[in-house]
Amino acid sequence: MIRAAQSIIQRYTLPKRLSGESQDRNSLTRTAMASRRARLTSRPGWITSIITESRSLADELVNDTSVTGLQENTNRLRHYRLRGTPIDDQPLLTLATAAVIAAVRRSLSLNLFDVQIHAGLVVSQGAVAEMQTGEGKTLSGILPAYLHSLLGRGVHVATTTDYLAKRDCEKLSAVFASLGVTTGLLNPNASLLETQTAYQADVTYGPGHAFGFDYLRDRLVQQQHDRAPTGSATLAHLADRSRGNDRRQQGARQQESRQRGLHCAIVDEIDHVLIDDAISPLLLSSSSDGEAADANIHFAAKELATSLQQDVDFQMSPDRQKISLTSDGYDRIYSDCPMATHDHLARPWHEYVVLALRANRLFRRDVDYIVKDDTVQIVDTSTGRIYADRSWSDGLQQAVEAAEGVRITPETKSLASITRQRFYRMYGTLGGMSGTAANCKNEFAKVYGMPVQSIPTRLEPKRKLLPDVIVKTQEEKYAAIARDVKSIHQQNRPILIGTLNIAQSQHIAQLLCESGLRFELLNGTQDADEAAIIAAAGRCGAITVATNMAGRGTDIQLDEQAIQLGGLHVILVERHRLARVDRQLIGRCARCGDPGTATKYLSADDTLPSVIAPWIGRSIERNLGRSKRSTLEIERALRKEQQSQQKRAAETRMQLLKSDDKLQDLYMPTGRQTDPFGCCQL
Ligand SMILES: Nc1ncnc2c1ncn2[C@@H]1O[C@H](COP(=O)(O)OP(=O)(O)OP(=O)(O)O)[C@@H](O)[C@H]1O
């Protein structure tokens, strides 16, 4: 095997060293970098020849049954790479690809598809590979992670949630181990030492935000050391030496640091991690126990807010995103109000009232948050996850707590913050994959200097989108869903009912109970075993009701009979503002060559057509049932609105990035600082 590696290296004259990645970053503009990567990734002949050659080499590697064979090969590639061989070097790519094919075959008994290798090569060059849902992106991430781990500086593999990070790490660690590459997993409950151990591994898995928060924590440690009085480090060092602690105490800063630098990040579901999530910055804060000093003020504001009248005392923006007081409202809340001059005011009195109005009018229980164990816990609607350790900033959390009548926690103190855009741009190499990246192409190029390349599908897709069901009221919609579920269930096919929020999932669950149908509910509020529910969701006759917890990234595997019967049927109970989230949910069916169907439901009083784009709701009311053409027009209007929502979100992110460019990437507030973006904090 080593001979095979040697011979292929010799077959190519070693190319003159291209400028290293770090040099690239410094000397080339982002645009130039993007076009270089575009050149690298748009040479189909080059990809094809690597695939062909590596396949035959992989056969040799697989036939070599010695335990250390693949690991020796990795050592060889490490030397080759450390000699300055660039990441686009063809022999390097061919040998690494062959090793990965062989390792996957040995450890998982799977043969990597050409499209998976293609995507892996694209990602390894710092680009985004768009590969349709269910085509096998998880395995595509092995090759780029392996290639970049060869320098020994650590590769971070980021994805959307802790659950997916754990799943992928557990699934792929055997493949990496057979290659002689170590893996680590970021665990939200881990100690400092455990986190450091995870980062010491060649490849570290974790949710996208965790890498950013650990970076902020390291920066805080570094700042504390930097702020220590001049000479104190030397004095401490001398004292340690005199105590014989020299080695142990050396580099205390490094000992407290978690990360080893930001060498390379491979991001799965990259449009979620780098685009959707980037709407709010990462904000690290410290919390304290007990009750907030201004708890009574929040309760008083809540009482007053419930007596205020819309369009008289306050106004709400048409999209229900903002609330502001009118001048009458302003006068009213300040007239004869003892709270306005209270000793514990942390902000002007009217701000408390606006917060209370927002909590009361804009935030919904079981949609934006849940109340559990007498605490308010935030729900991330696009992943369906509940984050018990996060809170809203600038008094909003407390206003929601007051609205729910639970204990008002003290406001957290901001310690450090960074936008996700800025954080991910610091990586020496950044690449990733998603099933829905193409329509964020411009943002990837502009913000991250990354081109997006679409990977052809391996097989003709067997997914069948059934005609949309459009009705006037939610009542009609739920009745139609119940009929749909009954008829598909009679065929014994598995069904996934995807809801936008927890409240909706509970409503569907109640309907199914009334119909006497057995089902599983996955919405984060039960102590259900998520992996077990997903494992059972593809069996014949299974009905699963789930929030977006079963969306993006979830792999529902079908049993043989379910495949014969037509595969999984997905029901979209309501449209998301972003079409990509809908497409991800639909992507749970017809994966990897299996058959499957999906139906989207829409009623005029759903949030998107009634609140966000009311003209669509009116159009449904007016035109529904008139002709097939009118239905198509409603559909077109909806798609257009989803596009403009995406555009608006992109503009907000660009604005955020511009403001961030003006600020330092880290701030240490001395007093209260307003978080301009209303972000979640940890
Ligand atoms: N080379 C392969 N041979 C056989 N099965 C494979 C192969 N690669 C992936 N699969 C299977 O295909 C299914 C889908 O894979 P995976 O979950 O990685 O898809 P995905 O592209 O990440 O989907 P999504 O976009 O929804 O996250 C899994 O059940 C996986 O085991």
Question: Collapsing DSSP states into helix, strand and coil, what is residue 473?
Answer: coil
Rounded distance from Cα 361 to ligand 1 centre (Å): 42
* Residue with CA closest to ligand 1 atom 5: 110
Where are the strands (E) in 495-631, listed by range? 495-498, 520-522, 543-546, 568-572, 596-603
User: How many Å apart are CA 527 and CA 547, to the nearest integer?
Assistant: 15
Q: Which atom of ligand 1 is nearest to the CA of 584?
A: 26
Rounded distance from Cα 152 to ligand 1 centre (Å): 28
Confidence of residue 24 (pLDDT cuts 50, 70, 90): very low
Range name among 8-17, 453-462, 478-487 with the lowest pLDDT average: 8-17
User: How many Å apart are CA 393 and CA 396, to the nearest integer?
Assistant: 6
Q: Is 373 annotated as a binding residue?
A: no
Q: Pick from 366, 354, 364, 376: which is nearest to 302 by CA?
A: 354
Distance in Å from the first CA to the final CA of the chain: 49
Confidence of residue 229 (pLDDT cuts 50, 70, 90): low
Rounded distance from Cα 233 to ligand 1 centre (Å): 52
Question: Collapsing DSSP states into helix, strand and coil, what is residue 347?
Answer: coil
**Number of neighbouring beta carbons within 10 Å of residue 423:** 23
Question: Collapsing DSSP states into helix, strand and coil, what is residue 531?
Answer: helix
Rounded distance from Cα 78 to ligand 1 centre (Å): 29
Q: Is 218 annotated as a binding residue?
A: no
The confidence score (pLDDT) of residue 42 equals 58
Q: Which residues line ligand 1 (CB under 6 A)?
A: 110-113, 116, 131, 133-139, 435, 553, 555, 557, 587, 591-592
**Mind giving me the DSSP string for 470-485?**
EESSHHHHHHHHHHHH
Q: Pick from 350, 292, 338, 392: which is nearest to 682 by CA?
A: 392
Residue where the block lists tokens 């095979």: 4
* Residue with CA closest to ligand 1 atom 6: 136
Phi, psi at 15, each rounded to 5°: -70, 155
Rounded distance from Cα 173 to ligand 1 centre (Å): 16
The confidence score (pLDDT) of residue 341 equals 73
On the CB side of 513, CA atoms within 13 Å amount to: 8
pLDDT above 60 (res 260): yes
Instruction: Say which DSSP state 113 is in.
Output: P
Instruction: Say which DSSP state 151 is in.
Output: T
Q: Which atom of ligand 1 is nearest to the CA of 557?
A: 29
Instruction: Say which DSSP state 456 is in.
Output: P
Q: What is the pLDDT of residues 69-81, one digit of tens each?
A: 888 889 999 999 9
pLDDT above 60 (res 247): no
Q: pLDDT exceeding 70 applies to what percent of the chain?
A: 85
Confidence of residue 298 (pLDDT cuts 50, 70, 90): very high
Q: What is the pLDDT of residues 195-211, one digit of tens each?
A: 999 999 999 999 999 99
On the CB side of 351, CA atoms within 13 Å amount to: 10
Q: Is 136 annotated as a binding residue?
A: yes
264 forms bridges with which residues in the sheet?
155, 429
Q: Pick from 653, 479, 594, 676: which is nearest to 136 by CA?
A: 594
Q: What is the pLDDT of residues 332-366, one digit of tens each?
A: 888 867 777 777 788 999 999 999 999 999 999 99
Domains by residue range for the chain, with CATH: 2-227+255-273+421-454 (3.40.50.300), 288-411 (3.90.1440.10), 463-624 (3.40.50.300)
Mean pLDDT, the chain, rounded, equals: 85
Q: Is 555 annotated as a binding residue?
A: yes
**Number of neighbouring beta carbons within 10 Å of residue 316:** 16
Rounded distance from Cα 77 to ligand 1 centre (Å): 28
Q: Is 631 annotated as a binding residue?
A: no
- Where are the alpha helices (H) located in 179-294, listed in sequence order? 192-200, 208-227, 232-242, 246-249, 252-256, 270-271
The confidence score (pLDDT) of residue 226 equals 73
User: How many Å apart are CA 144 and CA 155, to the nearest integer?
Assistant: 9
Pocket test of ligand 1: the residue of 97, 138, 271 to mutate, having most ligand atoms within 8 Å of its CB, is 138
ipTM of the complex: 0.98
Helix (H) / strand (E) containing 286 = strand 282-286
Q: Pick from 663, 655, 665, 191: which is nearest to 416 by CA?
A: 665
For 293, 342, 675, 682, the CA distances from 408, given in Å and listed in that order, are: 9, 17, 20, 17
